[in-house]
C-alpha cells in the first residue's frame, strides 16, 4: 500500500499538468525574497512619470514586430502600486501604432495581448523598484527590476554587471489615447491582490477582501 502511494505521488510530481504547488508551498520563500510589499495606496507615481500608456525599450525596431520570432517587451506602471508586463507580437490582430494607441485595453481584455507578468513596485527617490511574480510549475518566482527615472517619459533599466550597478537599456514612453470605460487597468491585477503574502498589512488585505465581496454582490 505504501509503495502504491509513493508511486502515485511520484507520477503526479513529474507530470507537467499537475499543480505541484499543492505539495510544494513556496509562498513563504517568495515573500522573503521580494523587496516590495503591497499597500493598496495611491503611489502618486503620475507626478514623477507619465502613466497614461506604457514603456518600451528605445531602439530602431517598429512597435509591432515584423516577423513571428520577434516580441516587444512592454511595462506599464499603475497608480495603485501594481504593474504589468506584456509582449506585442505580429499575431494579435493589431497592425499599426494607432491600433495600439486606441485599442490597447480592448486587446488586453480580449487576450489578443496577453499579460506576461503581474507585479508591485515602490519608488525610492528617483528609482522604481519593481517585483513581478509568476508560478513556474511548482514554485513561486520573483523577478526584480530597477528603473531609474530620467525624465517624465524616460526610464533607464538598471542591472548588476560585474558587481556594479549599470544602466543597461533606455525605456521610452508610448501614449495610450483610448477613451473607454476600461481605462482603469488596475482591475487586471485583482488575481495578484488575492495573495495575502504579498501585502504589507494583513488588515489591509482583509479590508480589500471585504470590499471585493461587496463589489461582486453589486455586479450580480
Please say if the pLDDT value at position 21 is more than 50: no
Query: How many whole angstroms separate alpha carbon 49 and alpha carbon 43?
Result: 11
Per-residue pLDDT band for 11 (boundaries 50, 70, 90) equals: very low
Look at residue 170 and tell me if it is in a domain: yes
Is 7 inside any structural domain? no
In a domain, 15, yes or no: no
**pLDDT at residue number 26:** 57
Do the domain assignments include residue 4?
Answer: no
Given pLDDT bands bounded at 50, 70 and 90, which one contains residue 29?
A: low
Beta-bridge mates of residue 199: 38
- Count other Cβ atoms within 10 Å, centred on residue 14: 9
Give domain status of residue 97, yes or no: yes
CATH number at residue 133: 2.40.128
Asked whether residue 6 is assigned to any structural domain, the reply reads no
Count Cβ atoms within 10 A of the Cβ of residue 33 and give its class: 0-12 exposed, 13-18 middle, 19 or more buried: middle
- Domain total in the chain: 1
| High-pLDDT (> 70) share of the chain, % | 78
Helix/strand/coil for 103: helix
Q: How many angstroms separate the CA atoms of 132 and 26, rounded? A: 15
Q: HSE-up of 190 (CA within 13 Å, CB side)?
A: 11
Residue 9 placed within a domain: no
Distance CA 17, CA 137 (A): 8
Mean pLDDT computed over 73-78: 93
Mean pLDDT along residues 84-95:
89
Q: Is residue 1 part of a domain?
A: no
Q: Which domain holds residue 76?
A: 35-219
CA-to-CA dists, residue 18 to 6, 34, 44, 142, 192, angstroms: 16, 26, 41, 21, 21
Query: Per residue in 41-66, pLDDT tens?
Result: 888 899 999 999 999 999 988 999 88
- Residue 54 has what pLDDT? 95
Separation CA 66–CA 216 (nearest Å): 41
**16 has a pLDDT exceeding 50:** no
Residue 10, C-beta contacts closer than 8 angstroms, at least 6 positions apart: none
DSSP at 207: H
Asked whether the beta carbons of 159 and 170 are under 8 A apart, the reply is no
pLDDT at 85: 93
Q: Grid coordinates standing for 144?
A: 526584480
Which contiguous run of DSSP H or E holds residue 53? Answer: strand 53-57
Amino acid at each position: 500500500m505504501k509503495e502504491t502511494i509513493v508511486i502515485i505521488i511520484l507520477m503526479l510530481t513529474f507530470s507537467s499538468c499537475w499543480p505541484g504547488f499543492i505539495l510544494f508551498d513556496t509562498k513563504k520563500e517568495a515573500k522573503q525574497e521580494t523587496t516590495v510589499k503591497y499597500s493598496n495606496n495611491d503611489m502618486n507615481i503620475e507626478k514623477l512619470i507619465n502613466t497614461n500608456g506604457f514603456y518600451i525599450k528605445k531602439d530602431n525596431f517598429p512597435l509591432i514586430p515584423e516577423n513571428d520570432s520577434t516580441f516587444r517587451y512592454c511595462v506599464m506602471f499603475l497608480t495603485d502600486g501594481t504593474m504589468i508586463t506584456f509582449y506585442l507580437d505580429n499575431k494579435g490582430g493589431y497592425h499599426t501604432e494607432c491600433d495600439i494607441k486606441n485599442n490597447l485595453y480592448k486587446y488586453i481584455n480580449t487576450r489578443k495581448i496577453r499579460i506576461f507578468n503581474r507585479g508591485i513596485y515602490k519608488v525610492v527617490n528617483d528609482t522604481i523598484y519593481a517585483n513581478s511574480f509568476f508560478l513556474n510549475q511548482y514554485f513561486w518566482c520573483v523577478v526584480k527590476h530597477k528603473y531609474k527615472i530620467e525624465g517624465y517619459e524616460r526610464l533607464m533599466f538598471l542591472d548588476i554587471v560585474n558587481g556594479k550597478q549599470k544602466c543597461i537599456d533606455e525605456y521610452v514612453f508610448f501614449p495610450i489615447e483610448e477613451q473607454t470605460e476600461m481605462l482603469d487597468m488596475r482591475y487586471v491585477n485583482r488575481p495578484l491582490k488575492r495573495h495575502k503574502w504579498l501585502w504589507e498589512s494583513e488588515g489591509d488585505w482583509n479590508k480589500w477582501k471585504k470590499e471585493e465581496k461587496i463589489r461582486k454582490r453589486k455586479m450580480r
